[in-house]
Structure 1
Amino acid sequence: MRAVIRGFEIYKLYLDASGQADLVSAIREVVMAAPMFSPETPYGKPMSVRMTSAGAVGWYADRDGYRYVDRHPGGAAWPAIPAQVLTIWRDLTGLDRDPDCCLINYYGEGARMGMHQDKDEASFEWPVLSISLGDAGLFRIGNTTRGGKTESLWLESGDVVVMGGAARLTYHGVDRIRFGSSTLLPNAGRLNLTCRVVR
């Protein structure tokens, strides 16, 4: 089922149980090659999510700012984006251009993501695609400037969101997760995969 909220295309349960399990297995391989880490914001505060990436570049943050880098903090190149992720990207965006980065965020109990714009990319003409796996997350959609009225919805395991066009620079975030609401991940929590064209 497809719904549109403020330009965000939301595909509820786009992945069935088998597809979700298959994708988690692929992500497990990525994490083995590029272990999760907890980045520090430019303000010196550690982020509540743990993360890693796949693709030509990965997203990174420290006291020097937010940016994309071509290597994991451990020194190795990022692993390739799983084929399952690229299939979803091609099916829902209709683009021949594949993403340069698949950022993988893990939300444990109490983790959240403040309202932000995805604006570290060279061009904003390309959409951003987000895949939810595991526990439900309360996704909040704002405006192209900070403040103002927002709308929220629960993203569940298997949901996919496409942010393009006018929605590309809309503020959004995850206020909380419903920890333990899914049995997909052995230790509960939420995985969010975000695909972006960076270069």
Structure 2
Amino acid sequence: MAQKYEYTGKLSEGLIKVKAGVYPQYNCGYINTLGEEVIPLIYSGVKDFHEGLAVVRVGNWSTGKCGFINATGDVVVSFRYDKVMPFRNGIAKVKQDGEWFFIDLQENMVISLRNYSGSTYFYDGYAVVEIENYYGIINQNGKEVVPCIFPACSAFNSINRKHTVEFYLKNSYLNINR
């Protein structure tokens, strides 16, 4: 039997992402472990499933939009975002019209990142944020609990299942162990 897909991903929550065709004329979808297409190859890009949802893209890579589908192919979050990161603990980091923010499953903005030039995901209720190469921490309410005054940091590291972050200031550092 001839190979049907140009790309086959790894198993992710019971499904495998696949791609048929050659750039820029290719389509992506998902198959099950028996090789049966369970989500049609109608997307321009797909990611692995995480927390029961997968990031998918419609349209081309430069002007297309991203959203989320569930394991049966139902659209859970509409295709209106320029970039998206997977849901973690019920929230996802998305970019729309040049602005990054976190949304919940109902597409409500739960935390704006307008004042920041970057952020990590939340770990144990906290995320590292950046303002012009200075780092701090916000909580899940978006409140800055460590101001962005540190010129360097090691984002959250998992050591013995505890999340730590280290901030560096001149010749000293602040270690926050959560």
What TM-score comes out, normalization by structure 2 length? 0.25
Q: Which has the higher contact order (CA 8 A, sep 6+)?
A: 1
What TM-score comes out, normalization by structure 1 length? 0.23
**More strand per residue: 1 or 2?**
2
Larger Rg: 2
**More helix per residue: 1 or 2?**
1
